[in-house]
Structure 1
């Protein structure tokens, strides 16, 4: 079982040598990329820095509490599964999610000014370096540095995530699916590597299966957020696939709800579901206490795809989200049939 206790050889302490104020935190990072999953397309939420009070000189427990608030506010779908993790893994996931979320926020704040966004991401990467050196100065990295005492989370995965956010500042179109997959490898697959380091797994096969699941989640986001991304002049759906289905960018931006767009979205749904199916073996590779939480995380997103199948064109009008009752249904059904995709 690969589940490393990283206390040996890690940074000597989690001292918050220079805790950032809320104001400094806002200067470092801002607005949310994915926002509230129930928000109508294009409205979005304030960034975590603006919406949540920043603890000043927090204890480790206060830092984790801040990360938890970020996860539950901005990752409502993911956090369904988070809640079922054992405490130490749950807290580590909160810290890792918050770090990635904060980087995502920078990409959105900096979309109008790529240079300033790039500098803010440079600052956040320097904070990552300080975190791994045992000198965190931000509530999120204080929590993350503590998590590193117990889990050998690869720094390279966070760096790749930040590189993906840098790409978001300058690249807003993807010519082919292969080009989109390259972006997924930076953003989604880094999340897989971070998660597996916390969850624990049995063999190296888990890495490929975990990356299939991460890609499925990212492709679900791409499909669900088509309308919301238009407000940021981002079109993640590959350009050659738009042409194949007879959909122009003008149609997207004018929100023309035609048959071609319906078929295009149905194609995106089918492809994302194929990645969920490819990820199924992961559930038997994970440490036992991480299997059901992972099943729920994937199951919630797979259920979003099922909902989109009923009304594909809703993506132009709102970001589809599951109600609390629907999430309870996901939990109950996965207790009976432990698969990402319901058959």
Structure 2
């Protein structure tokens, strides 16, 4: 099936809505052309991230490069599900749907790939290849058709997309980070790269805007790491730096087994404090954002800060609570931000 540009953007919109991301609320207050571009980029980011995240449980657990040895529990080998991320949005669950380049890859059932050690690597590599094709104006998959148009319309550099792909590849082998500097390198790839793409769309051209956008992207990623501690623990992953766990005398086994005590609370207070510091570092971003994008950008920051506030109020217990903003919370945030005389993140 050959998608028109309109159909391709509609597909990306549907994919973003299905993901139910914290970003979706802000997207809806962008002018349509910019909203479409965001949906295209976000669909690509989520698709690649889902491939890496949903199918990495069987990977070998390792410490980040600065670590001296493998650490933590080895997660059990995962059974690869029949679909990958957004693939269930397509008419047929086939590899042709997962790999954008339908012309260069014959359709194969996902079942045929089960058990292959390089399953995820092949999928990610195919998307990386088709990213290159999209930048040359060639695309078959709806996400890539929309993306090719978006990157050309807003002069979006390819490097951030490549950075995200590299970060997702890291997720396949690295399960621990010895120090925050190590974690920061990973966050730069998977979070700051997304903010770099966003900056191009919302009209920021000053170099300072990219730095503030970087801080905001890191703040979002650190918030996600805090929120997803329990989810990641089930996959054998620990993103919190190991030296910080040691500082608070909280063991890896404690985190993996969901031990919530004074040590845990103190550790989490430290994590939340650092995340808030990055939000503060990003506060001047709004000075560089196009007027028609200020509300959307402000909402994105407000949603994540509200999430952080909620986690803190519940004593950081991410094991017993699933932290997600209600429709009421979102409505209140929209109203508050619309009534602001000056936007902020």
Q: What TM-score bracket applies, with the shorter chain setting the length?
A: 0.7 to 0.9
SS at match of 2:322: coil
Local SS of the residue matching 1:172: strand
Aligned match of 2:32: 87
Quote the Cα distance in structure 2 between the aligned partners of 1:104 and 1:317: 25
1:123 aligned onto 2:126 = yes
Asked if 1:292 is matched to 2:295, the reply is yes
Q: Does 1:312 align with 2:257?
A: no
Q: Aligned runs of 1:210-229 on 2, under 5 Å?
A: 210-229=213-232
Matches within 5 A, 1:327-342: 327-337=330-340, 338=342
User: CA offsets per residue over residues 292-323 of structure 1, 9 Å max, x none?
Assistant: 11110111001000111101333123430100
1:157/1:194 contact within 8 Å kept:
yes
Counterpart in the other structure of 1:247: 250
Name which of structure 1's ranges 331-340 and 88-97 shifts more when overlaid on structure 2. Answer: 331-340
Equivalent in the alignment of 2:62: none
Q: Determine the C-alpha separation between the residues in 1 that align with 2:150 and 2:280.
A: 31
- CA deviations 1:105-143 (Å, max 9, x no partner) are 110243125632112111110010111111112110011
Distance verdict in 2 for CA 1:153–1:75, change over 3 Å: farther
Distance 1:93 1:220 in 2: 21
Post-superposition Cα deviations, 1:60-106, rounded to whole Å, max 9, x if no partner, equal: 11111111111122143101100010000000000000000011011
Alpha-carbon distance in structure 1 between the residues aligned to 2:54 and 2:230: 18
Q: Which residue of 2 aligns with 1:205?
A: 208
**Conserved? CA contact 2:295–2:343, under 8 Å:** no
Q: CA deviation at 1:183?
A: 0.5
Unaligned runs of 5+ in 2: 60-116
Match of 2:151 in 1: 148
Q: Secondary structure of the residue that 2:152 maps to in structure 1? A: coil
Structure 2 residue 44 is the aligned partner of structure 1 residue 99 = yes
Matched-pair contact (CA < 8 Å) for 1:217–1:301: yes
Matched, 1:62 2:65: no
**C-alpha separation in 2, matches of 1:140 and 1:108:** 19
Aligned alpha-carbon RMSD (Å): 1.5
> 1:28-54, CA deviations, whole angstroms, 9 ceiling, x for partnerless residues?
xxxxxxxxxxxxxxxxxxxxxxxxxxx
Cα separation, 2, equivalents of 1:165 and 1:131 = 20
Give per-residue Cα distances to partners, 1:135-186, cap 9 Å, x unaligned: 1121100111121331111111100100000000110101111111000111
2:21 maps to what in 1? 76
Q: 1:120 to 1:318 in 2, by over 3 A?
A: farther
Q: What does 1:143-292 correspond to in 2, within 5 Å?
A: 143-292=146-295
1: CA distance between counterparts of 2:272 and 2:337? Answer: 20
Match of 1:47 in 2: none
Structure with the greater relative contact order (CA < 8 A, sep ≥ 6): 1 or 2? 1
CA-CA distance at 1:339 after TM superposition: 5.7
| Greater mean alpha carbon deviation, residues 71-80 or residues 169-178 | 71-80
Q: For 1:201, what is the secondary structure of its paired residue?
A: coil
Contact 1:276–1:340, Cα closer than 8 Å, also in 2: no
| Higher alpha-carbon deviation: 245-254 or 183-192 | 245-254
- Deviation of 1:233 (Å): 1.1
> How many angstroms does 1:250 deviate by?
1.2
Contact 1:314 1:320 in 2 (8 A): no
The answer to whether the Cα contact below 8 Å between 1:280 and 1:339 also exists between their aligned partners in 2 is: no
Pick closer, same or farther for the CA change 1:146–1:202 going to 2, 3 Å. Answer: closer
Conserved 8 A contact 2:22-2:303: yes
Residue ranges of structure 1 left out of the alignment (5+ in a row):
1-55
1:174–1:235: 8 Å Cα contact kept in structure 2?
yes
- CA–CA separation in structure 2 for the residues paired with 1:74 and 1:109: 14
The alpha carbon displacement at 1:189 in A equals 0.9
Match of 1:35?
none
* Equivalent pairs, count: 286
